[in-house]
Amino acid sequence: MRKRMYFIPAGCILFILYFTIFGERGLLRIYHLSNEKEQIREKVGEIRSENDKLKREIEALKTDRRYLESIARKDFGLVRPNEIVYQFPTAEKQELKPQKAVSTAVGSKR
């Protein structure tokens, strides 16, 4: 009879302990939410820095003529009148350059 008396409080303690750790508001859930919150904070920081960078670029495009000219030259290949542009092949373009293909004409005699 006495042994049964210990099962009831032990069962209650185990029941409470289970929900304290694994329940909807348990320690594991709090741990996962804390990790998720930290990841979201990092993402927000990255997005804020990207927004600041874009704001600076917008302001430079509105006010800085030299920056605007550099964008026009680099992205659109624009040049000033009477300006000569020399283009040299880069190492990357030379590697991608296709080999001369040997063509054979159909019906030709050698």
Total tally of structural domains belonging to the chain: 1
Threshold 0.85, pTM exceeds: no
In a domain, 89, yes or no: no
Residue 97's contacts (CB-CB under 8 Å, 6 or more residues apart) are 89
- Does some domain include residue 26? yes
pLDDT in tens, the chain (110 residues): 556 677 777 888 888 888 787 778 788 889 999 999 999 999 999 999 999 999 999 999 999 999 999 998 889 888 888 888 888 888 775 566 555 544 444 444 44
- Residue 39, CB-side half-sphere exposure with 13 Å CA sphere: 6
In a domain, 104, yes or no: no
d(CA 67, CA 60): 7
**Whole-Å CA distances, 98 to 52, 90, 101, 103, 104:** 43, 14, 8, 14, 18
User: What is the extent of the structural domain holding 20?
Assistant: 2-76
